[in-house]
Structure 1
Amino acid sequence: DYPTKLTIQADHTHIFDTVHVDTCDETCAVENIIGTVTFDSNGIDSGCNLEQCSSINREYVLIPKDIDYNQAPQSRYMSFDGINQVSIIHKTDFSGQLKNDFTIRMWMKHTDEENDGKEHIFCKTDEKLQNRHHTALFIQDGYLKLLIRKGPLSINDKNVYKSEWMWKLTQINDDQWHSYKLFINYPNQIDLYIDDKLFTITNDNFKVIEDFALPVINGTEDTIFTVGACWHARASQMAQHFHGELSGLSIEQKEELPDSISCIQDCQQYLDMPDIQGQSNMEFISNSNRSIWKIRSDSSELYEDLLKHIVYRNTFDPIGPSGQRTVSIQTTLKCLGENYTYNLPTFIRRLSIDEPIRPTNIELKGDTSFFVSEQIINQGINLFKNLSIYADAIKNDQVDISDCSINTSPDLTNNEQIIIPDDNFHINNLQKDLTQTGLILAGLGSIDSYQYVLQHIAYTSKSPVQYNDRTFSLVCVGSHDQTSTNEIRIRIHIEKQIVPSAPFAAALSNKLFVDNDQTRDNLFDLGESAPSAKNLSGWPIIIVICVSVGLASVLVLYLVIRIRSGNRQASPLTGTGDDAHSQMEWEDDIGLNIIVNPLDTTKQSVQSMDVHNIKQTIHKYEGASSDEDEYDDHSHNEYSSDEDNEDYDDVENNQIHQKKNDHQLEWDDEAMEYGPKKV
């Protein structure tokens, strides 16, 4: 198929389910078809947590070197006689596992002895049963050769891979110290430096040999790594010894730390083949993080079936990151009976993950209550003067509003209306629908345009309002996802103007006014009418004060008159101090005759009541209230003084008589005297 674009919407997507592989059977009977499927994230995060992964450059020193590595060895080197000298590297020092990228460094001194056999500098072979060489660096017939065998593989792989690189060098047999450095990027590139100079390769001095991958053989799981010779398990002896001198032999490669291996392998974007069964005529294998897959088959139909099983996995939640990745297929075809291979055109499929569409959040903010008078309502007020519309988009002009609705509660009367300037609608291309229940603004517009229109909407009433409270609610709707905004409720409290009635005495006398600072501060400010109300509230206080002063004056006047009348009775007309004493006794007798009740005394004879004295006393009080009877009062006082002495003697006689007649009843007629006492 021609390169196409595929939009990813799920975490499990077959990306080659429409691929078709066509070969010309008349000209080429397919013997082997190999494909390399590569996933490239194009710099997009694959979710491998690489910042938590770490690697180090590990150098394995097989033969020590001098302090100055750039100079030819002087003292530290190892000599090999080519017969029995060999060094076995323990697995604790070096396991023999080589990465795709590694570096070999050494100093070597070798003499040509016309030996056509292999002389191994180092060698990795099977520890048991087989003599297979996995990795080796050796000298043979004037060539420096590097062997890297692919595998072992568990399947029957009929492919050949680059396995041996050979450089024809004159330096290896001149019996001089030379520095050799090999920078390996298996299997793509290997560079050789001799004495820090890059060796220039030609068809005459450089060769590459391909070979089959090593198969898996039971019992050959373990290997042995040696320096100076090679271990042959079948013969159970060392063979192919090196004859010369070596110094500073080391292998350096970048290795991940133990906790980094799982980090690299566990990624959130990768290719997978989860639902396929292996067969003898097919092969599929991937690298550690499953970004590269190798597939092979012996027919185009089977190769096509393998491609259709490849799945792109994305375990991000939600799927992402947004952007494009590429998956490429490089296919090599070999026809039956031919030694050449043909490269088919590279197939590329682009995987696109679109930016998720998030609902735009639009928020309204503004005043929620007004306290206004009827006069202001008659003139009109802007309901949403301080309205602000916010959105979580980058730019406000990128977010459109489809409509806004204003609802009234209660409904508008015929004398109320909502006013909208018409010029705003011509500018912003909005439509309005005004009813007694509210207003609807419709039409696509930016946030700024809707905010401008809403800020100029006014409410007015041309007659006395019927309601003290009126509510307006505003809600808008976004145009992209039809998401409603929050609701703003504006409450208008209308203060009716009350004309104060004329004050009258009855109404004011029934009210209590308290001049309290705290209460006065909490009262609502009535504006210009406040001074008149204050003056009105002072009249009741003045009236109360005047009444109180009047009552106090009457009481004082009464007390003064009473005191003056008492002073007249005590005036010195008699000329003696005994008269004053008799006056006190007379007044005491008056109090006794008026207060004492005969029923309050028990077992005691009732004293005789002098009716004549009572009458004279009454005349005395009557005369005290008039200045014209002053002379009569004086004559009565002289008479009263004589009577007082006689009354005193009568009291003593009555007390003696009482002791003799205790047994008599209180109301016995014999104990009661009637009429005035005879003098």
Structure 2
Amino acid sequence: ERVLETSYHGLIKENETFVEITPLIKVDESKICGFHIIKKNKEIPFQIELVNELGILKAKKTLNCEKRKNYKFDITAVFCDGSHSKSASVHISVIDINEYSPTFLQPSYVTEVDEGRLYQEIIRVEATDKDCTPLFGDVCKYEILTADQPFTIDNEGSIRNTEPLSHKISHNHILSVVAYDCAMKQSAPVMVNIRVRRVCEAHVMGVAERIDYTANSLESVSLFPKIHLELCDMQCKGEDMVIQSSVSLKTKHISFGCDRDATQCLRRLSENERQQAGDSDSAGSGLVDLLQKNTDWTKDLVYDEGAEAIFHFDGSSGAIVPRSVVQPQDFAAHQFSIVTMFRHHSIASNDKHTKEHIVCSADDHKMNRHHMALFVRNCRLILLLRKDFNDGDLNIFSPAEWRWKIPQVCDNEWHHYTINVDLPKVELYVDGVRFESSVEDRHSNPEVIDDWPLHAAHGINTTLAIGACYQGSENRLKHGFSGDISEIKLSTRKVLTASQIRCGTDCAEKLLPPADHYLEPEQQIQSNTQMNKIVIEGSNKTNIELLLQQIQYINSKENPTIGRRNIQVMTTVSCPNKKAIRLPTIDTYIMVTPSGNQSAATASGSGLTSSSGTSSSVSGLYSKILDKPLTSDQKPQIVISGNSNHLVSYPDIKEGVKILAQINISIYTGKDIRPEMQKLDSCNVNVFPSLNPDHEEITIDDKDGTDESLFKFDIKTKISKEGVEMIGYDTIENYQHVLKSLVYINKKPAYYLNRVFKLTCSQVDDHFRSAEYTLTLTVLHPKQQPTSSAAANAGGASPPSNVLLAISTAPSEGQQHGAVAVDSHDNANQYAHAMLHSHDVQESQSKVRSSSNGAGLIGHEKLASSHSTMLIVVICASFVLLICGVGIARLRNNSTGSASGGLIGSGVAGHSRNTDKHQACPKVAADQQLDWDDSALTITINPMQNDNLSDESSESENSDSEDEEVMNGRYKNVSQLEWDNSTI
């Protein structure tokens, strides 16, 4: 008989003994008295009991899933008579619990890596879990517990580095790594030791950070006496390795790109001229300097003091060369050369026809014919040379204009130009290099323009001018040059040789290459024409080092520019037909320091003062500059300090206020004060919001033109609506001088509440930059002041409470001077535009002064307009006449006496008060007020006048000169008004 199901399924946890059976084992206890487990070959760790008609299955002991996950056996029901029912199969599954943590296969891991490399996988760690199910028995995650390490690990246990490792920073990295099963049970940590192997990195060693050079020593100094190449056993298989090292001298920041010794060059040129001239009469063969210091024709030009003067031209300046220096001549008839060095200020403009002359020979009167000229136009250097009428047929074209399109003209840098003219041959040399003709876009460069010869003009000579061109018909200079010119020289009746041209362009400071006897076979040394770059190439590492150790620096200029010259060393190593390996670039610098016996006067003219020679000695520099020590990890700092807020009044801002008068700039470089660091390259003042050119501007206060010190600095200042930009290598003191001279002017201050000025300065080509210094300029808007109570009380009466007096009562003469003083030194008598009202009533005495003292006004004439004043005066006069008329009529009707009328106006000096209550028109003195009964008085004024008053008041605030016109114009007629008392 079947009393059991065919099969049963049960679940049991590892840490429990009760089995959950599905379906339940139900029997009838009246028939069934127990159960029996049929054992086969294996021991069955279960037992079954009959409890309340249910078969309860239990484990004899806790089970282990990791040993056995499933059990299968049969059970039968035992009848009370001892017989057995049919059997039923039982399937029991053991449920796993997370009793084990992951464990790593190794107790620790150790590996090695090369420094400087990024690896895809450095090492792989692995952990396992003894739990029997995937949830608890699989490892799903790995994690590095050690913080701030440049490593990462993925879910597979693969460790890699996130950045190249450095043996110098750390020889090894010890990581603590843990694993997690899928239920996030964490394992015990395992140590992973990653050792960093030092890899030899090819580089240049033994270069000093700074090389000192003493000015005027006329001796060379070795740059790299201890230089060494670390090539890390680099070799080429079966072939020689090629090593190339280049040493560059950077002097572009100096005024002319380098120190040039013009004195020696001129001396050499003069000797050559004398040798070539011999005993022959060649008076016109010399090189004539047209732009000299301390001459009559250049005394009005602006130039920088220094060993080599730099003349500044602004487009409107120039000079006429006297005929005693250069005689009028026909330049087209003879050979000649023009030598000049200039820096053209390229300004973006749509006008491509503006001529900017360097030198020009033109008619001296009547006409404006240009015979010879060198000028800049549309970024082209142009030579104009017109043949005279007697040089050929007037109907034959001949070359008359040469136009060179060269980038040097408009790059805002110094360049040396030489033009040799030997018609029909014209040659241009730029920085000592001959310009080669070319064709660009089907246009030849230079472009040569033909023209007719000049027509005959009897009685007309030529005038030679520099920096502009003389206009004979207008008797003035025109077409001026915009930029800086250092020299203009003219060689007449002779052209300069190529060697003479290079003499004027060669730098006095240069690199000296090693002597030839140090060279080995298959080695070579190359130097450029400027001698500021040397390239050494060879295969012998030891000999390359020896050659580099022999490179020297020399500055043969007498009083060279004091300061820094950067040196750059670049080295490459390569095998034939393979890509070269570039070693890290080495940067150092030469510091040219003043000689011990160099006086302050010599130093001021020798370039201690930046590229143009600002006057300052090094001894003064050391005594004035304060420095502070810096820590090893700090860089030089540019610190700008000063007040952050500046309050200004209306009169001050109209006349102009110095916005940066309180600033102070300091550079902190460390314990040792370094003079070359106590200079700036640029400063920028930005204005927020931008200036309105209609009524705002920033100017430089030059004290009415008497202070020329600003023009002696090598600081170029550009002022725009965005602010002020200053560029030039100069001292902090000179930069502060210019910054403190900046004046901000606002003709209409009521438009703004404040202005923000932001200042930043930089040094060494913007490598060091200051923090942003911010100054807020706040305009104090004045409030309208009430009428002086003292003046009101002097008249014995006060105005009605509902009438606002906008102009105070005129005080006595002594008080007038006091009022003027207050008005000029204080803001008490100034009123804001918004406080003006069209219903203001002005007393007659405040408008009229005694005629004995002259008609005029004091006090606040700025606050009223002529139309409104006339209207109020007429209204008041009408009411006074009406009151007086009514009073006279009453007197006549009452017949109580006669009243004596008095003049009411500005012609009464003294006064006496008549207290008769029946007197209709009492005499009014100059310091009294007019009394009337206004109890029933109502005045209605056109409200549209409010806008008119505001506009007129705003216009009256423009300038002090306009204020005087208002006083003399608007109120002049008012002071002439008098009462007509002929009928009183």
Which TM-score band (shorter chain)? under 0.3
Work out which structure has the larger RCO, using CA pairs closer than 8 Å and 6 or more positions apart in sequence: 1
Q: Greater helix percent: which structure?
A: 1
Q: Which has the larger radius of gyration?
A: 1
TM-score (norm 2): 0.19
